[in-house]
């Protein structure tokens, strides 16, 4: 029988996701906010717009109104459905909001060049890694 990995932290608190023991901190208005090595929040309840701004600076991404539209959509979708939005759901939504030229997979990936809206978008929105992401 294999022993559990020493680098995984389990918590009965659903707001705290399973995270590797190797964490980093991000300064958000003088508060040290804990992230994993990839920048995902360890404690989802610590998300704020200031966190998104600080993480975006760390990732060298200047947030525009469209970025905020996606971040808010991702958070609202997660709050409503309990899961991250699939890209096809984002495309359908943003095609209606932004029109057919900008509501595309290509445009969403242009906005979030480091892994697209499901990775970089979820990271900035303070959400979990998507299923199967390494």
* Residue 13, in any domain of the structure: yes
Asked if the structure places residue 131 within a domain, the reply is no
**Cβ neighbours of 68 (radius 10 Å):** 13
- CATH code assigned at 95: 1.10.10.370
Name the nearest CA neighbour of 39 among 115, 96, 94.
115
133 in a structural domain: no
d(CA 100, CA 113): 20
Which structural domain range is residue 117 located in?
Answer: 8-124
Query: Of residues 123 and 134, which shows the higher confidence score?
Result: 123
Burial of 5 (0-12, 13-18, 19+ CB in 10 A): exposed
Domain count, the chain: 1
9 — pLDDT class (breaks 50, 70, 90) = very low
pTM: 0.81
Check residue 1 and give its pLDDT.
39
Taking only the tens place, the pLDDT of each residue in 28-70 is 999 999 999 999 999 999 999 999 999 999 999 999 999 999 9
pLDDT in tens, 73-92: 999 999 999 999 999 999 99
On whether residue 132 sits in a domain, the answer given is no
For residue 3, being part of any structural domain is answered with no
């Amino acid at each position: 029988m294999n022993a559990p990995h020493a680098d995984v932290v389990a918590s009965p608190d659903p707001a705290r996701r399973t995270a590797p023991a190797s964490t980093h901190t991000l300064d958000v208005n003088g508060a040290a906010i804990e992230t994993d090595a990839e920048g995902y929040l360890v404690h989802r309840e610590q998300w704020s717009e200031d966190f998104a701004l600080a993480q975006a600076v760390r990732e060298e991404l200047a947030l525009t109104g469209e970025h905020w539209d996606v971040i808010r959509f991702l958070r609202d979708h997660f709050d409503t459905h309990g899961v991250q939005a699939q890209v096809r759901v984002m495309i359908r939504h943003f095609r209606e909001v932004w029109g057919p030229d900008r509501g595309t997979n290509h445009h969403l990936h242009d906005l979030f060049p480091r892994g697209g809206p499901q990775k970089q978008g979820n990271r900035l929105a303070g959400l979990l890694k998507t299923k199967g992401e390494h």
